[in-house]
């Protein structure tokens, strides 16, 4: 049996491991920090330069990354089922990279209305300035046939979506995109590659904020764009080079280290979050609705069961009979949950979902304030006690 036959959990533990030299090797890849790559002879330099020009992920300069970066790309490639992975200094940089790489003036993109907010707030204005037009579609309405234009080049989706975890029928969207010759890109930060594999379900490109679960310890900013299509990889690599996107070897190492424990952390986040979500459902006097696709009554549950292999630590809920100020007082009263954006670290967090973003999409029309929890690795009984005391103190 070859390494390729091993299961995903096994492959991500060993991808990028250093080879033996003289019969021995460290378990972990070294952190190779450099700007200059030295060559023994000029012929070695030009040979490597030509391989790079032909699209190989080899390095002739520190900006391209060295062995630590190659190891991380190999591990993310296993996670995503990708042949090519481009690393970026944040998740948002990875998203902007792919839009800039794949679109030209006059092109049109279709974006799911419940995607990560800065795509609408930051990336759209940038691309609009460069002559690209945007339309938004609600995944609740099925495939966006009515919005398609002759100039539509790309569909951008995220499943489950930010804050409310709208699960989309990705294979159906992929069939629609293929039929019309449009590229399909999805943000896979929620599934992290282990819970969800968009390339296998028909997407052309998967992008992740590796800042979140791959890092796993709230000490890293990083993103990755993955594809199994060599032509797309070449376009992405050219733009990646032109933008001079580069990450430090220490940060590449941190993400690689995170990947080695991803499966055990995600399983624990998912178990704890399900416990918290079930508790929230019992608090029906103060909680109007719980958003978590692993709950059987979540509208996305059937698709989640079909396409995902697990759930993560993100749970949101709408507060009944509450104003924005009540939601603020509630998260202020929490003792164990920090107040903060980002997520995917070991610690629990709470954040109020910006009301303006919830109004922008068609998935949910409620007016109640929404609290997003990231359920960390603390004992879930302590987290439930904490939520319970904050409910009692503030909302009853």
Ligand X SMILES: *Cc1c(COP(=O)(O)O)cnc(C)c1O
Q: Which range, of 87-95, 198-206, 236-244, 287-295, touches ligand X by CB under 6 A?
A: 87-95
Tell me which residues in 327-346 interact with ligand X (CB under 6 A). 342
Q: Identify the CA nearest to 291 among candidates 300, 303, 279.
A: 300
CB of 176 to ligand X, least distance (A): 22
Sequence-ordered list of residues with C-beta below 8 angstroms from that of 17, at least 6 positions apart, any chain: 25, 27, 28, 29, 71
Residue 116 has a CB neighbour count (10 Å cut-off) of 22
**Under rule CB under 6 A, residue 78 binds ligand X:** no
Q: Are strands 84-88 and 223-227 parallel, antiparallel or unpaired?
A: antiparallel
CB of 179 to ligand X, least distance (A): 27
**Under rule CB under 6 A, residue 248 binds ligand X:** no
Exactly one of 74, 82, 87, 92 binds ligand X (CB under 6 A); that residue is 92
Tell me which residues in 99-118 interact with ligand X (CB under 6 A). 116
Under 8 Å between Cβ of 155 and 104:
no
CB of 125 to ligand X, least distance (A): 17
Exactly one of 221, 288, 336, 377 binds ligand X (CB under 6 A); that residue is 221
Strands (E), the chain: 84-88, 108-112, 133-137, 152-158, 183-187, 205-209, 223-227, 287-291, 314-319, 338-339, 349-352, 370-374
**Under rule CB under 6 A, residue 243 binds ligand X:** no
Exactly one of 189, 218, 239, 348 binds ligand X (CB under 6 A); that residue is 189
Tell me the number of residues near ligand X by CB under 6 A. Answer: 14
CB of 190 to ligand X, least distance (A): 6
Compare residues 218 and 239 and give the one whose CB is closer to ligand X: 218
DSSP 3-state of 111: strand
Exactly one of 17, 28, 83, 90 binds ligand X (CB under 6 A); that residue is 90
> Residue 57 is inside which H or E element, if any?
none
Residue sitting closest to ligand X (CB) = 91
Strands (E), 299-341: 314-319, 338-339
Q: Are strands 108-112 and 152-158 parallel, antiparallel or unpaired?
A: parallel
Exactly one of 84, 166, 169, 187 binds ligand X (CB under 6 A); that residue is 187
Exactly one of 211, 227, 239, 316 binds ligand X (CB under 6 A); that residue is 211
Q: C-alpha distances in angstroms, 370 versus 282, 320, 331?
A: 17, 10, 11
Q: Say how far apart CA 281 and CA 327 lie, in whole Å.
A: 17
290 DSSP β-pair partners: 317
Compare residues 72 and 394 and give the one whose CB is closer to ligand X: 72
Compare residues 268 and 342 and give the one whose CB is closer to ligand X: 342
Compare residues 193 and 395 and give the one whose CB is closer to ligand X: 193
Under 8 Å between Cβ of 222 and 192:
no
CB of 184 to ligand X, least distance (A): 16
Active site residue 187: yes
Q: Say how far apart CA 207 and CA 189 lie, in whole Å.
A: 7
Q: Identify the CA nearest to 165 among candidates 284, 294, 331, 265.
A: 294
Active site residue 212: yes
- From 70, 107, 113, 116, active-site residue: 116
**Under rule CB under 6 A, residue 17 binds ligand X:** no
**Under rule CB under 6 A, residue 86 binds ligand X:** no
Exactly one of 60, 96, 152, 162 binds ligand X (CB under 6 A); that residue is 162
Active site residue 250: no
Q: Which range, of 96-104, 124-132, 133-141, 204-212, touches ligand X by CB under 6 A?
A: 204-212
Q: Say how far apart CA 193 and CA 258 lie, in whole Å.
A: 13
Task: Provide long-range contacts, Cβ within 8 A and 24+ apart, for 175-183.
Answer: 175/202, 176/143, 176/144, 176/145, 177/202, 177/204, 178/202, 180/148, 180/152, 182/110, 182/148, 182/152, 182/153, 182/154, 182/155, 183/102, 183/153, 183/154, 183/155, 183/232
- From 11, 45, 51, 63, active-site residue: 63
Exactly one of 111, 209, 228, 322 binds ligand X (CB under 6 A); that residue is 209
Active site members: 63, 116, 187, 212
Instruction: List interacting residues with ligand X (CB under 6 A).
Output: 90-92, 116, 158, 162, 187, 189, 209, 211-212, 221, 223, 342
């Amino acid at each position: 049996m070859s390494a390729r036959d091993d299961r995903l959990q096994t492959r991500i533990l060993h991808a990028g491991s250093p080879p033996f030299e003289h019969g021995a090797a460290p378990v972990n890849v070294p952190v190779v920090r450099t700007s200059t790559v030295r060559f023994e002879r000029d012929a070695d330099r030009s040979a490597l330069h030509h391989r790079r020009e032909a699209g190989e992920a080899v390095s002739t300069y520190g900006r391209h990354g060295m062995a630590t970066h190659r190891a991380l790309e190999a591990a993310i490639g296993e996670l995503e089922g990708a042949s090519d992975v481009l690393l970026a200094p944040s998740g948002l940089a990875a998203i902007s990279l792919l839009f800039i790489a794949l679109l030209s003036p006059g092109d049109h993109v279709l974006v799911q209305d419940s995607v990560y907010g800065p795509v609408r707030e930051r990336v759209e204005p940038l691309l609009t300035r460069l002559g690209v037009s945007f339309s938004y579609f609600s995944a609740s309405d099925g495939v966006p046939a009515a919005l398609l234009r002759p100039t539509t080049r790309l569909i951008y989706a995220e499943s489950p979506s930010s804050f409310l975890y709208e699960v989309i029928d990705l294979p159906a969207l992929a069939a629609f995109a293929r039929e019309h010759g449009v590229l399909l890109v999805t943000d896979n930060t929620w599934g992290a590659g282990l819970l969800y594999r968009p390339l296998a379900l028909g997407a052309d490109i998967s992008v992740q904020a590796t800042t979140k679960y791959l890092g796993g310890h709230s000490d890293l900013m990083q993103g990755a764009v993955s594809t199994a299509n060599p032509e797309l990889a070449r376009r992405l690599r050219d733009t990646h080079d032109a933008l001079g996107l580069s990450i430090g070897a220490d940060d590449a190492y941190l993400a690689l280290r995170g990947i080695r424990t991803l499966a055990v952390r995600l399983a624990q986040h998912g178990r704890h979050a399900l416990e918290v979500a079930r508790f929230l459902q019992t608090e029906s006097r103060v909680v109007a609705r719980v958003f978590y696709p692993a709950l059987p009554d979540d509208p996305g549950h059937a698709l989640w069961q079909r396409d995902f292999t697990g759930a993560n630590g993100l749970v949101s809920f709408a507060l009944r009979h509450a104003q924005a100020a009540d939601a603020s007082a509630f998260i202020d009263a929490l003792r164990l949950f920090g107040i903060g954006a980002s997520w995917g670290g070991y610690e629990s967090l709470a954040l109020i979902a910006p009301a303006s973003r919830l109004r922008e999409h068609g998935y949910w029309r409620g007016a109640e304030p929404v609290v997003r929890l990231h359920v960390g690795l603390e004992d879930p009984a302590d987290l439930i006690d904490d939520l319970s005391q904050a409910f009692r103190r503030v909302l009853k």
